[in-house]
């Protein structure tokens, strides 16, 4: 019965994820572009402008190209090219005036721009390059642009006055100084490919120490906007700036909105998008703060160790910007999306929006982190379907002193499986953020995955390993399913308090795995060595099903108090088969090594079912911390096949208590198949502390086939008390299938401890087939049994009510049994006993008040019949008092007078004496019910004849006193007299004496023996 869950403690998942360094990797990329011609010259101008573009050779002819001329309107400089490509090792240098703000260039010749060298401008001018046929940045592509760089396969650049600078219709005159406001695409927009791995002399790197690739100036914008966008082992780096990647379809318009960093692109006018893929590519805006990455496409894919990074430096002065991806489909495979706040400013947010999201692979990390005094950024996912698999992880982490970011997931369906994790982690003094999941249809967390010979469970967790409090987990979903080794956890491993877990769901299915070596669970625990307080778990659902080794636990292994568990559900079902590797159920326990208080478990349900040897609800303690309590409010409670509700103590602290309120029925049925686990309610103690109390309030209680309610002690301390309040029936029936366990109520003390008490109130009570109500002890005083049963107590087939002491040895006194009932009924021949016997101590007292007692009676010692005994083998016996309302002939009588009446003075002499006959006599002795004269004095002393044939009690047998003594003492033992019958006839015996008889004799009619009183018969 001492059912301790195995391995509730979990090993913390190491969240280390290696940074990516791409070495010894050869990637072959085939890029197919819509080309209509092959470029002959690298950079060549056309003649479409009023002031044409001029291209001259630079220091290295054929490689370097100097671009001058063009048409200037206000601060805008327009260039137009037939071809624009930069060869490997070459350069395209715009030699513009420093007053120019925007260099707007187009490629009209129908060829793809291949950039595998340097593009350079003067001053801080922004550069716009549009080529509808496509743009490819090769591995050696390099940027040295003072302002922002917008590369696009749009047909034209729209200006604020409505005019367009078009690459497909280059004859349009330019008559405006308006600023660019957007990109207008035509049919089949060309693709953009980035393969740049430029790092100069090796010092131009990004956050991961990788080549910077296409690098923009700090706090500027670098945008690639076209048809399909591909990062093919190509990097983009803009410290503290903004990187925009957009993949759009036919006839789209993308707005350009000025910001402090350059431009923010808007896609509100885009109807459909095209695909965007980053393969082994890095996008990085880390810097002094404010960096942003925005990606928009139809299907956005990050794979082969691609990364999006926005880190705020330690000396950063601006809050981090953030990373945003919007797509119809988002797929992240062995890639990373991360914002980091390293200084005193806040980190940026990660916002992912798509109809479908998939994250897979051990190296997939989607995180916001805070490392310093700044707040961490938030993680927000909005999608119809989100799937995390194969050891991928997303979340927020606080390693600094400020509040970590929150994780917010808004979806229809969320799957976390095969070792994937959603995490909110606190490792320092900062407070952890919260994890909120709103999954309108379903949330599924299942499975585990093997890594380096370790099994990594699928997880949703908000753990703390520092002094900061862990965040909370909040779940709202239609259907929640957790199992197969997966977990939810809000635990503490250090000084910080654990978080709380709140679940609101239409249906909750929590199933373990019969083959899993680790425990599936919803956990808010204080782990070994931790001093923080445990969190609480609250579940509100329409239906809760648990089984196969799944545990909901708020245990403590450390110095912090455990939290509590609250479940509100119309239906709660816990199943634990014998083949399950772990116990299934609800646990609020003080584990070995803990010094703090256990938590409480509260259930409010209409139907609670526990079934199977491994099914438990437990608020037990196994060390110095006091156990918590279990409180259940239900209509129907069913516990069967070895399942148990426990508040056991096996340590040095008092056990908790169990309070059950079941308005309809409580049914405790049977044992496990092997008979080793009894179904029932248990607040027993196996340690050095007293057991808790157990209370059941119900209409009907049925305990059958070896099940029991027990508040026993199996060590040296006191057992708990059992209180049963049943408005209708209590039925205790039968034994286990192996006949080793009897059904019943138990407050036994099998060790040196004292038994508790049993108090039962009901309309009727049935004990049958060896059922028992026991308050027995081995050595200390027996417990008290009080039965208040309005109608009938029935006992049959070797059933027992016992407060016996000294079952093996000991000096204790027998307990007391008080029974108040309408009728006490037993079958005399079936050996159903009521006993308060003792071995060496004094026997207990038994008081029975009933209308009638049938089939059992007081006896000095036990027999093969149904007995009532209070004997002691070596000591003084107790007292037995049986009160029934039968007629007592001694009640209401008074003492008779001493002086006898003279009958001769009261007899009328109607006739003279008959001569010759001897005179008769009639003597009044004073014995009788009525005085012969109302005025006669009462006799002070009457001579009483003892008619009882019972043996005179010895000193070792219960004392039997007369009725007068019985009425004057509540501790007396009363032997009720047989009722006296009225006289029915007068007879004369052979001696001539007149006798009164109870039965009239049959006589033959004859002449009168006495003469008539009229004297005529003389």
Q: pLDDT tens digit string along 131-178?
A: 999 999 999 999 999 999 999 999 999 988 888 999 999 976 666 678
Answer yes or no: is 70 within a domain: yes
What element of type H or E holds 963?
helix 963-968
Confidence check: pLDDT of 373 > 70: yes
pLDDT top residue among 783 and 918: 783
Confidence check: pLDDT of 87 > 80: yes
Answer yes or no: is 832 within a domain: yes
What does the pLDDT look like over 248-296, one tens digit per residue? 999 999 999 999 899 999 999 999 999 999 999 999 999 887 789 999 9
Answer yes or no: is 723 within a domain: yes
- Report percent pLDDT > 70 for the chain: 81
pLDDT top residue among 880 and 35: 880
Q: What is the tally of structural domains in the chain?
A: 2
How would residue 991 be classed by pLDDT, with cut points 50, 70 and 90?
low
Answer yes or no: is 255 within a domain: yes
Domain containing 159 — which CATH number? 2.160.20.10
How would residue 1015 be classed by pLDDT, with cut points 50, 70 and 90?
very low
Token duo for residue 227? 């048809």
Q: What is the pLDDT of residue 227?
A: 98
Selection from 411, 442, 408 nearest residue 422 by Cα = 408
How large is the average pLDDT for residues 738-742? 94
How would residue 980 be classed by pLDDT, with cut points 50, 70 and 90?
low
What does the pLDDT look like over 750-789, one tens digit per residue? 877 788 999 999 999 999 999 999 998 887 888 999 999 9
Confidence check: pLDDT of 28 > 50: no
867 to 768, 803, 827, 828, 852: CA distances (angstroms): 15, 14, 10, 8, 15
Other C-beta atoms closer than 10 Å to the C-beta of 158 total 21
CA atoms of 77 and 69, how far apart (whole Å): 9
Confidence check: pLDDT of 993 > 70: no
Residue tagged 């006798």 (tokens): 995
| Ramachandran area for residue 971 (φ above 0: left; ψ -120 to 50: alpha; else beta) | alpha
Confidence check: pLDDT of 228 > 90: yes
- Angle at Cα 129 formed by Cα 123 and Cα 133, nearest 5°? 165
Confidence check: pLDDT of 1017 > 50: no
How large is the average pLDDT for residues 823-828? 97
Q: What is the pLDDT of residue 125?
A: 97
CA atoms of 158 and 184, how far apart (whole Å): 7
pLDDT top residue among 927 and 187: 187
What does the pLDDT look like over 471-485, one tens digit per residue? 999 999 999 999 999
Residue tagged 């993949």 (tokens): 247
CA atoms of 7 and 521, how far apart (whole Å): 11
Domain final residue pick, 284, 318, 342: 284
Answer yes or no: is 379 within a domain: no
How would residue 18 be classed by pLDDT, with cut points 50, 70 and 90?
very low
What does the pLDDT look like over 55-76, one tens digit per residue? 999 888 889 999 999 999 999 9
Q: What is the pLDDT of residue 912?
A: 53
Confidence check: pLDDT of 576 > 50: yes
Confidence check: pLDDT of 854 > 60: yes
994 to 921, 931, 958, 990, 997: CA distances (angstroms): 12, 20, 41, 10, 10
What does the pLDDT look like over 580-596, one tens digit per residue? 889 999 999 878 777 77
How large is the average pLDDT for residues 376-397? 95
Answer yes or no: is 703 within a domain: yes
How would residue 930 be classed by pLDDT, with cut points 50, 70 and 90?
low
Q: What is the pLDDT of residue 881?
A: 97
Residue tagged 């709140």 (tokens): 502
Out of 25-34, 750-759, 793-802, pick the least confident: 25-34
Question: What is the average pLDDT value for the chain, to the nearest integer?
Answer: 85
Torsion of CA 924, 929, 933, 939, to 10 degrees: 80
Q: What is the pLDDT of residue 777?
A: 87
CA atoms of 237 and 255, how far apart (whole Å): 23
Q: What is the pLDDT of residue 202?
A: 77
Provide DSSP, 725-763.
Answer: EEEEEEEEE-B-TTS--B-EEE--B-SSSPP--EEEEEE
How large is the average pLDDT for residues 785-812? 90
Domain final residue pick, 831, 858, 883: 883
Domain final residue pick, 837, 868, 883: 883
Token duo for residue 734? 């039968």
Q: What is the pLDDT of residue 923?
A: 54
Decide: 136 and 114 in contact? Cβ < 8 Å.
yes
Full residue range of the structural domain in which residue 720 is found: 660-664+675-883
CA atoms of 968 and 182, how far apart (whole Å): 109
Selection from 105, 108, 102 nearest residue 126 by Cα = 102
Decide: 674 and 645 in contact? Cβ < 8 Å.
no
Other C-beta atoms closer than 10 Å to the C-beta of 925 total 8
Answer yes or no: is 469 within a domain: no
What element of type H or E holds 984?
none
Q: What is the pLDDT of residue 1011?
A: 41
- Angle at Cα 956 formed by Cα 950 and Cα 959, nearest 5°? 50
Answer yes or no: is 507 within a domain: no
Other C-beta atoms closer than 10 Å to the C-beta of 990 total 5
């Amino acid at each position: 019965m001492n059912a301790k869950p195995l391995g509730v403690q979990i090993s913390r998942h190491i969240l280390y994820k290696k940074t990516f360094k791409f070495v010894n990797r050869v990637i072959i990329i085939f890029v197919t572009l819509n080309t209509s011609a092959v470029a002959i010259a690298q950079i060549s101008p056309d003649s479409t402008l009023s002031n044409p573009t001029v291209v001259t050779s630079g220091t290295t002819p054929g490689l370097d190209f100097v671009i001058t001329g063009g048409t200037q309107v206000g601060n805008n400089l327009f260039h137009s090219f037939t071809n624009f490509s930069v060869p490997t090792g070459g350069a395209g240098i715009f030699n513009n005036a420093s007053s120019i703000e925007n260099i707007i260039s187009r490629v009209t010749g129908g060829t793809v721009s291949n950039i595998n060298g340097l593009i350079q401008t003067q001053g801080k001018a922004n550069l716009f390059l549009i080529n509808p046929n496509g743009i490819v940045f090769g591995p050696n592509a390099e940027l040295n642009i003072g302002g922002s760089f917008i590369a696009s396969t749009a047909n034209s650049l729209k200006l604020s006055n409505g005019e367009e600078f078009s690459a497909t219709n280059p004859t349009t005159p330019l008559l405006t100084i308006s600023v660019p406001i957007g990109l207008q695409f035509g049919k089949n927009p060309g693709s953009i490919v980035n393969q740049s791995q430029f790092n100069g002399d090796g010092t131009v790197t990004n956050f991961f120490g990788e080549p910077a690739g296409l690098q923009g100036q700090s706090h500027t914008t670098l945008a690639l906007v076209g048809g399909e966008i591909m990062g093919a082992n190509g990097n983009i780096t803009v410290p503290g700036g903004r990187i925009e990647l957009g993949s759009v379809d036919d006839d789209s318009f993308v707005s350009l909105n000025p910001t402090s960093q350059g431009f923010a692109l808007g896609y509100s006018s885009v109807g459909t998008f095209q695909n965007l893929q980053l393969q082994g590519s890095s996008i990085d805006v880390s810097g002094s703060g404010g960096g942003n990455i925005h990606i928009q496409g139809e299907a956005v894919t990050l794979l082969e160790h691609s990364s999006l990074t926005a880190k705020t430096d330690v000396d950063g002065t601006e809050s981090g910007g953030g990373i945003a991806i919007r797509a119809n489909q988002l797929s992240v495979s062995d890639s990373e999306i991360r914002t980091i706040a390293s200084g005193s400013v806040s980190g940026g947010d990660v916002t992912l929006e798509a109809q479908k999201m998939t994250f897979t692979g051990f190296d997939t990390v989607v995180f916001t982190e805070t490392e310093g005094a700044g707040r961490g950024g938030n993680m927000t996912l909005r999608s119809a379907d989100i799937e995390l698999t194969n050891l991928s992880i997303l979340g927020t982490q606080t390693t600094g002193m400020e509040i970590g970011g929150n994780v917010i997931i808004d979806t229809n369906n969320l799957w976390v499986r095969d070792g994937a994790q959603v995490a909110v982690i606190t490792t320092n003094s900062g407070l952890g953020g919260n994890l909120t999941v709103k999954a309108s249809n379903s949330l599924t967390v299942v499975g585990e995955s093997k890594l380096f010979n370790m099994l990594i469970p699928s997880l949703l967790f908000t753990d703390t390993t520092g002094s900061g409090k862990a965040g909370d987990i909040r779940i709202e979903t239609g259907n929640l399913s957790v199992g197969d080794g997966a977990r939810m956890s809000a635990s503490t491993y250090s000084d910080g308090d654990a978080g709380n877990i709140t679940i609101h769901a239409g249906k909750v299915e929590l199933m373990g795995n019969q083959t899993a070596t680790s425990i599936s669970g919803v956990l808010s625990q204080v782990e070994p060595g931790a001093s923080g307080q445990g969190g609480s778990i609250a579940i509100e659902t329409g239906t809760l099903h648990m089984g196969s080794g799944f545990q909901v636990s708020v245990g403590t292994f450390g110095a912090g108090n455990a939290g509590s568990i609250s479940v509100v559900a119309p239906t709660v079902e816990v199943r634990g088969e014998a083949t399950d590797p772990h116990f299934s159920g609800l646990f609020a326990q003080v584990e070995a090594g803990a010094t703090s208080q256990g938590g409480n478990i509260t259930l409010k349900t209409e139907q609670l079912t526990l079934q199977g040897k491994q099914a438990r609800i437990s608020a037990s303690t196994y060390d110095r911390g006091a156990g918590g309590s279990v409180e259940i409010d239900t209509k129907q409670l069913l516990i069967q096949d070895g399942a148990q509700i426990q508040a056991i103590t096996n340590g040095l602290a008092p056990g908790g208590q169990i309070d059950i309120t079941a308005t309809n029925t409580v049914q405790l049925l049977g044992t496990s198949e092997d008979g080793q686990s009894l179904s029932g309610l248990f607040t027993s103690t196996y340690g050095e502390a007293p057991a808790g109390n157990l209370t059941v309030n119900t209409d009907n209680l049925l305990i059958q086939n070896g099940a029991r309610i027990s508040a026993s002690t199996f060590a040296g301390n006191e057992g708990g008390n059992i209180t049963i309040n049943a408005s209708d029936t209590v039925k205790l029936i039968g034994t286990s299938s192996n006949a080793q366990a009897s059904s019943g109520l138990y407050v036994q003390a099998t060790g040196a401890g004292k038994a508790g008490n049993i108090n039962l109130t009901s309309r009727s009570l049935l004990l049958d087939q060896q059922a028992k109500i026991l308050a027995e002890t081995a050595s200390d005083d027996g417990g008290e049994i009080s039965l208040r049963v309005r109608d009938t107590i029935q006992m049959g087939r070797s059933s027992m009510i016992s407060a016996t002491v000294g079952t093996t040895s000991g000096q204790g006194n027998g307990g007391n049994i008080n029974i108040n009932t309408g009728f006490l009924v037993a079958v005399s021949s079936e050996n159903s006993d009521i006993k308060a016997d003792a071995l060496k101590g004094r026997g207990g007292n038994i008081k029975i008040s009933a209308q009638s007692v049938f089939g059992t009676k007081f006896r000095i010692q036990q027999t093969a019949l149904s007995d009532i005994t209070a004997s002691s083998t070596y000591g003084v016996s107790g007292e037995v008092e049986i009160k029934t309302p039968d007629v007592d002939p001694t009640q209401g009588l008074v003492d008779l007078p001493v002086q006898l009446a003279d009958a001769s003075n009261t007899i009328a002499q109607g006739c003279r004496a008959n001569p010759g006959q001897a005179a008769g006599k009639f003597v009044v002795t004073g014995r009788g019910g009525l005085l012969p004269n109302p005025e006669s004095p009462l006799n002070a002393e009457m001579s009483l004849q003892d008619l009882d044939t019972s043996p005179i009690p010895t000193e070792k047998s219960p004392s039997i006193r007369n009725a007068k003594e019985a009425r004057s003492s509540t501790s007396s033992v009363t032997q009720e007299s047989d009722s006296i019958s009225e006289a029915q006839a007068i007879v004369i015996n052979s001696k001539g004496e007149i006798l009164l008889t109870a039965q009239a004799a049959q006589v033959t009619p004859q002449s009168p023996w006495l003469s008539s009183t009229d004297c005529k018969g003389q």
